[in-house]
A and B are shown apart, each in its own frame.
Chain A
Amino acid sequence: MIKGVYDVDCGTWSPQGKLIQVEYAMEAVKQGSICLGLKSQEYAVLCSLKRAPSELSSYMDKTFKVDDHMGLSMAGLTADARSLCKYMRNECLNYKYNYEVAHPVERLIFKIAEKSQKKTQSVSTRPYGVGLLVIGVDQTGTHLFETCPSGNFYEYNAYSIGARSQAARTYLENHFQKFSKASLERLILHGLKALKGAVQEETDFNTRSVEIAFVGLKENFTTLKEDQVDSYLKKLAD
């Protein structure tokens, strides 16, 4: 995949019209462990598969709360995700302080996109090596967004990023018409089924490695606790 002399920094175009460094950054996202999101008219859900760096360690969290009405999951460099999350939390606090309402979701995504783009147009810094799936609710309803190291962002009804995400995407493409009016429980089960499709034999798919979070028009962003995850995994098995 090494493209020779054109991949040194973001200040160099390749003859094919690509910024190879940005492409490499997007590769980091593809190598990260899978996370997916889906939404209905009332809820938006995130399901993620956590990785443990070694047998001795705990699984690394991938889901972060940004504000009561918004949260994210990530694939790629966790440290970059934390940095972006800190920025988002700060922006939400400031917005709340000044305007007394929750930060509109797309506006915040736009800020992330702007921040990410700056890093693709400089020789001295590198792009963010993380893709975020952000769920949130605001006056225009429920939202699911994806952000990219390239500075692009997309809104989805359902999507998946990370390792073997194509398998999950296939499930989501086949079933997304059912999501709009689905209950929270059905939505989570759909998410888990999609996630399971992307899991290999030897990967752990249990209470400790699966993360589920949701936000609703009337409910704050919540990450499910272990016992709740457990009950959903049991329902999935049935």
Chain B
Amino acid sequence: FFFLMIRRPPRSTQSRSSAASDVYKRQVSTQSTWGEFFLRNLNRKGRMFRDERRDKEVAVEEVFKQASLGNLPATLAPVEHKQFNPYTFNAGSVVAIAGPKFCLVAGDTRLSEGYSILSRNTSKLVPLTADTYIATSGMYADFIGLQKVLKARITQYKFNIGREPTTESTAQLLSHTLYGKRFFPFYTFNLIAGLDENGDGAVYGYDAIGTINRLPYAVQGSGKSLILPILDNEIQGYNKVKHTPPQDLNQLQELIVDVFTSAAERDIYTCLLYTSPSPRDRQKSRMPSSA
């Protein structure tokens, strides 16, 4: 059973790795036969064992030792079936920026699978309370599941406590909801965007298993590595000799539109942010979270 525990097929998803998906990374050893494996290990000891029983013991120890390092002879491993992969990557990119007395959150509306487009008009942004939004990239099915769980929990909160949860409480709720599935995670890369108790913008970033960080701005999704450096440069002023931070809401909105335009140029999963709906998208998507 020990072998079976660490034996995993090679990964076939094309998404980036995260702590949660590391467990899928183990490879099968290239040693081809049991016999070769034994010979190789016995010879390393530098002598041939005459005692049959002893041979077996040593060989078995070696196998365990190699197995613990992740190396197994292919013949020892079970036949490699194409295993069901429960995860896929659907969603493009989302961005949130916190400001004094406001918070901006944006997401593109493209849903994809592999090289195909599933929908041009599906929202990644969902309001959870009057002053909190959740924005998610990752697997759409898990996004819907997560969103439904959160909404039900928030309704319960409203009945029990008598008011809506604060953005901070909602952020915590998301964190422990995600961790609750630590061993079969929601394949979602989330942002919480809202107003804190002082009325200032609050943005929280997460990984798939619920690590929570409050941030001045955050990006998630396939365009993250394209968008985040621009925001670092434009908002924080990193790597700039002379920096004028964005002055107001309008400048930040323009920045967000520009940033999505740039990402869309290179990332197939991210599309442009439309400032007005494209004529082709006139038919409203009936997906649960569409705007």
* Residues of A participating in the B interface, judged by any CB pair closer than 8 Å: 65, 89, 93, 96-97, 100
A-B contact pairs, 11 of them (CB 8 A): A65-B159, A89-B155, A89-B156, A89-B159, A93-B152, A93-B155, A93-B156, A96-B152, A97-B148, A97-B152, A100-B288
Q: How many residues of B contact A (CB 8 A)?
A: 6
| In the complex, chain B residues whose CB is within 8 Å of the CB of A96 | 152
Chain B residue with the shortest CB-CB distance to A98? B148
Given A93-B152, A100-B288, list of 9 further CB < 8 A pairs?
A65-B159, A89-B155, A89-B156, A89-B159, A93-B155, A93-B156, A96-B152, A97-B148, A97-B152
| In the complex, chain A residues whose CB is within 8 Å of the CB of B155 | 89, 93
The 4 A-B residue pairs with the shortest CB-CB distance, nearest first, are A93-B152, A97-B152, A97-B148, A89-B159
Residue interface mask B266-291, A partner, CB < 8 A = 1: 00000000000000000000001000
**Once bound together, how far apart are the Cα atoms of A65 and B156, in whole Å?**
12
| In the complex, chain A residues whose CB is within 8 Å of the CB of B156 | 89, 93
| In the complex, chain B residues whose CB is within 8 Å of the CB of A89 | 155-156, 159
Which chain B residues in 150-164 approach chain A with CB under 8 Å?
152, 155-156, 159
| In the complex, chain A residues whose CB is within 8 Å of the CB of B159 | 65, 89
CB distance from A66 to the nearest CB of B (A): 9
**Once bound together, how far apart are the Cα atoms of A100 and B156, in whole Å?**
17
**Once bound together, how far apart are the Cα atoms of A100 and B145, in whole Å?**
12
**Once bound together, how far apart are the Cα atoms of A89 and B288, in whole Å?**
22
Chain B residue with the shortest CB-CB distance to A96? B152
| In the complex, chain B residues whose CB is within 8 Å of the CB of A65 | 159
Chain B residue with the shortest CB-CB distance to A66? B159
CB distance from A201 to the nearest CB of B (A): 35
CB distance from B209 to the nearest CB of A (A): 23
Chain A residue with the shortest CB-CB distance to B159? A89
CB distance from B144 to the nearest CB of A (A): 10
**Once bound together, how far apart are the Cα atoms of A100 and B288, in whole Å?**
9
Chain B residue with the shortest CB-CB distance to A94? B152
**Once bound together, how far apart are the Cα atoms of A96 and B155, in whole Å?**
11
CB distance from B247 to the nearest CB of A (A): 40
CB distance from B59 to the nearest CB of A (A): 55
CB distance from A69 to the nearest CB of B (A): 13
CB distance from A98 to the nearest CB of B (A): 9
**Once bound together, how far apart are the Cα atoms of A12 and B159, in whole Å?**
39
Residue interface mask B209-245, A partner, CB < 8 A = 1: 0000000000000000000000000000000000000
CB distance from B173 to the nearest CB of A (A): 15
**Once bound together, how far apart are the Cα atoms of A65 and B288, in whole Å?**
25
| In the complex, chain A residues whose CB is within 8 Å of the CB of B148 | 97
CB distance from B106 to the nearest CB of A (A): 26
**Once bound together, how far apart are the Cα atoms of A15 and B155, in whole Å?**
49
Chain B residue with the shortest CB-CB distance to A68? B155
| In the complex, chain B residues whose CB is within 8 Å of the CB of A100 | 288
Chain B residue with the shortest CB-CB distance to A92? B155
**Once bound together, how far apart are the Cα atoms of A65 and B152, in whole Å?**
15
**Once bound together, how far apart are the Cα atoms of A217 and B155, in whole Å?**
21
**Once bound together, how far apart are the Cα atoms of A93 and B156, in whole Å?**
8
Chain B residue with the shortest CB-CB distance to A64? B159
Residue interface mask B70-107, A partner, CB < 8 A = 1: 00000000000000000000000000000000000000
CB distance from B60 to the nearest CB of A (A): 51
Chain A residue with the shortest CB-CB distance to B152? A93
| In the complex, chain B residues whose CB is within 8 Å of the CB of A93 | 152, 155-156
CB distance from B287 to the nearest CB of A (A): 11
CB distance from B132 to the nearest CB of A (A): 19
| In the complex, chain A residues whose CB is within 8 Å of the CB of B152 | 93, 96-97
**Once bound together, how far apart are the Cα atoms of A135 and B288, in whole Å?**
27
Which chain B residues in 133-152 approach chain A with CB under 8 Å?
148, 152
Chain A residue with the shortest CB-CB distance to B155? A93
Chain A residue with the shortest CB-CB distance to B156? A93
**Once bound together, how far apart are the Cα atoms of A237 and B198, in whole Å?**
43
**Once bound together, how far apart are the Cα atoms of A93 and B288, in whole Å?**
16
**Once bound together, how far apart are the Cα atoms of A96 and B148, in whole Å?**
9
**Once bound together, how far apart are the Cα atoms of A93 and B154, in whole Å?**
11
Chain A residue with the shortest CB-CB distance to B153? A93
Chain A residue with the shortest CB-CB distance to B158? A65
Residue interface mask B158-193, A partner, CB < 8 A = 1: 010000000000000000000000000000000000
**Once bound together, how far apart are the Cα atoms of A86 and B152, in whole Å?**
14
Chain A residue with the shortest CB-CB distance to B288? A100
**Once bound together, how far apart are the Cα atoms of A89 and B156, in whole Å?**
8
**Once bound together, how far apart are the Cα atoms of A97 and B288, in whole Å?**
12
| In the complex, chain B residues whose CB is within 8 Å of the CB of A97 | 148, 152
**Once bound together, how far apart are the Cα atoms of A100 and B144, in whole Å?**
12
